[in-house]
Structure 1
């Protein structure tokens, strides 16, 4: 009997933790790229079948770069209570927010490195990828934490949310630049949905209230598409106040690009959007349960989409920006919440750079499964795309950390990794002075 799709091919887990030093480099690494690249993703232990790609234990892959050298690679599982004790997430005493996979993202804020998954607490790890343990901001965080917090580049505040299976279904949180949880407030929504990402502009928080709804009676990943729930986008004032909701065509969104307010006060949001057909195909392919009679022939790919929300008139405009399949949109986060021109996305074997000013797209084939392209700005950059893109590219049993010039997607360098890195989710670059 063959392994399910989420345990085979590019998604197949690796069996152990290793490390290697003085890695082979092709090209020349910029000396300015001194720091650590970390990437997170699901990786069940040998013999485990989590039933869904999203269920595997979190594994961090790290590469240390310094002064033009690749000093080390190492991979480590995030040692949550689910990993070390097989602790249940749901029990007679309620939910254990430490019994999670911590498999989705890894960020740094206020000196702490945190591995994230949206249904539980963050887990702090060291710069060498050892797990310190769950972190609840001095006991103040009592909800889960999204894997996609947003750090305001002007204030260094960290904005995030937690969604729950029971009321309150959605709670907004804000950290100070020092890492103190200084604000928590409920955002009223009608039910528990799988809200993976959100966006922030100068004056607004942007919510994606979409029809993937929690269903405790479902086996495996407990979510199902519910047509009757509807689809809408919400705008909450960052300063506080009621949320304004805008109905949109049914869809699902895992990942937003950037968002901003235009000269007319309208909110512009770009994201990788799944049509209902594409969603059902994707969900079935990674282990989700769907009605087999629905949308059986569609390809499970998202495409770049834009919504323009007008808080004054209450109107919504939405438009497809491209029809090719892309995911994991990234950008120069020095412009988070403000107008940005460039957006970097990945296809199955390519990086696609969009110019949001003229609508053009530049495609760079990579020759393998291509991970999220993390943008690293050059020191003292004069242009928005002056810097590098870092991505893990895997072909067969070989993986490389690829460094491209973000301006023209040309080769800068690649670091040969000592093992295949399974397809995963999100990474970050942590610069060192």
Structure 2
């Protein structure tokens, strides 16, 4: 069934003037799925195929690295943030719009100054979340930037002056307390600072962690009683010239740390096999009191191949190589850790139903990346209970974004809801929002929203409901 929505009306606005120099070579992260769009646009009354569930009343925001026209950054992660928004309400797709996050870095101001790093000179291009009524665009080296719900840039946000470190791009909300847990890391002491904000957005805790080195800490996790830290062998290296001064070190041990949420800042460390973890799916305490940590893991070869792609030196089929679903089981009583690879698929961007953050989950979702030229992308659903893996191939020249879970109205089961994924298409240089039934991702889509332009591939986003789902 197709809705009777009219053709979308599209307007375009000029972006800010580029201030950086052009470079001749176009790296892989500025071509194909990842080629930046050149301007800002607005479209209303988008065409919908199928029927949008009425409980999908809110906004899907998705961030992307999208440098200004003529600008070629030295690394994928350094592309300026552009947020793409889709407004759904009462079974309609009311609008799509894309806007750059207007930060000092967008206008060419440097991160490093004679006085030290400028935490406001952010790309703001990694993630976008909502907390305490504020929409925050995030990049782990900087302070967050607040956006309006129509994607106008409000300005830098420092929690009323209380946040004096950077804020990482993957904060965690405790589904029971509503608290926001996050951290800031730096290449110099203090290397790691832990923060907690109240449900309404007041910063209530900031503490430096001892015993951590200058590693690149992209993600972490919380459980009911613990904070899970990652201290891995990608460390600050001023001699690294690939765009960002971090590189692999064979001499730096890989560790996972556990710190009680209700106690002093004291971390118990567990040494693990060398590897790097970009994103964790979840962590939880099992019935025996052990802490289980899950997420894709890059081995040394996978790290180098992926990093070279991000730095523009590798032109493989995908930006992720050698990343496999992994599980670590940490036993505080014995001080031991058990590691196991769960799947051979190359996957990244793991997500779950957020109501299970820090609790034992059954289902998680990920994007499967092609390992060879010509192979396709897919969405994956994992069932922890029976070990099953369900694949939804995207088809030729189609790349999905990470699957954002939205609960169905009156849901009681963990997977009763919808997966929202923005699919970028090369053949027609377009995109669509795919709405899947999370209980069966192989079934025909519940609805598909036709977007007026291609959305660059990759990076993270959030669903921001108009009101809490029941």
Q: How does 1:219-368 map to 2 (within 5 A)?
A: 219=241, 220-241=243-264, 242-287=266-311, 300-348=321-369, 349-367=377-395, 368=398
Gapped runs of 5+ residues in structure 2?
A: 1-23, 370-376
Report the alpha carbon displacement of residue 190 of structure 1 after superposing the two structures with TM: 4.0
Cα distance in 2, alignment partners of residues 149 and 280 from structure 1: 26
Report the alpha carbon displacement of residue 289 of structure 1 after superposing the two structures with TM: 7.4
| DSSP-derived class of the 1:143 partner | coil
Partner residue in 1 for 2:218: 196
Partner residue in 2 for 1:179: 201
Rate the CA distance shift 1:123–1:56 in 2: closer, same or farther, 3 A: same
Partner residue in 1 for 2:122: 100
Partner residue in 1 for 2:14: none
Cα distance in 2, alignment partners of residues 191 and 247 from structure 1: 14
Q: How does 1:159-174 map to 2 (within 5 A)?
A: 159-174=181-196
| DSSP-derived class of the 1:319 partner | strand
Partner residue in 2 for 1:400: 432
Deviations 1:82-123 (A, max 9, x none): 113x11111111110000100011111110110001000000
| DSSP-derived class of the 1:83 partner | helix
| DSSP-derived class of the 1:18 partner | strand
Contact 1:261–1:338 (8 Å) recurs in 2: yes
Cα distance in 2, alignment partners of residues 109 and 91 from structure 1: 31
Cα distance in 2, alignment partners of residues 339 and 380 from structure 1: 21
State whether structure 2 residue 460 is matched by structure 1 residue 426: yes
Contact 2:228–2:259 (8 Å) recurs in 1: yes
Report the alpha carbon displacement of residue 357 of structure 1 after superposing the two structures with TM: 1.1
Deviations 1:184-203 (A, max 9, x none): 11112442111000000001
Partner residue in 1 for 2:411: 381
Cα distance in 2, alignment partners of residues 317 and 113 from structure 1: 39
Contact 1:259–1:268 (8 Å) recurs in 2: yes
Cα distance in 2, alignment partners of residues 36 and 269 from structure 1: 30
Equivalent of 2:67 in 39, 44, 64: 44
Q: Paired residues, what number?
A: 425
State whether structure 2 residue 105 is matched by structure 1 residue 82: yes
Gapped runs of 5+ residues in structure 1?
A: 291-297
Cα distance in 2, alignment partners of residues 313 and 299 from structure 1: 35
Report the alpha carbon displacement of residue 299 of structure 1 after superposing the two structures with TM: 7.6
Deviations 1:191-218 (A, max 9, x none): 2111000000001000110011112233
Partner residue in 1 for 2:15: none
Contact 2:192–2:212 (8 Å) recurs in 1: no
The runs of at least 4 aligned residues of structure 1 exceeding 3 Å deviation read none
Contact 1:137–1:180 (8 Å) recurs in 2: yes
Report the alpha carbon displacement of residue 2 of structure 1 after superposing the two structures with TM: 5.3
RMSD: 1.4
| DSSP-derived class of the 1:345 partner | strand
TM-score by length of 2: 0.89
| DSSP-derived class of the 1:256 partner | coil
| DSSP-derived class of the 1:229 partner | coil
Rate the CA distance shift 1:414–1:299 in 2: closer, same or farther, 3 A: closer
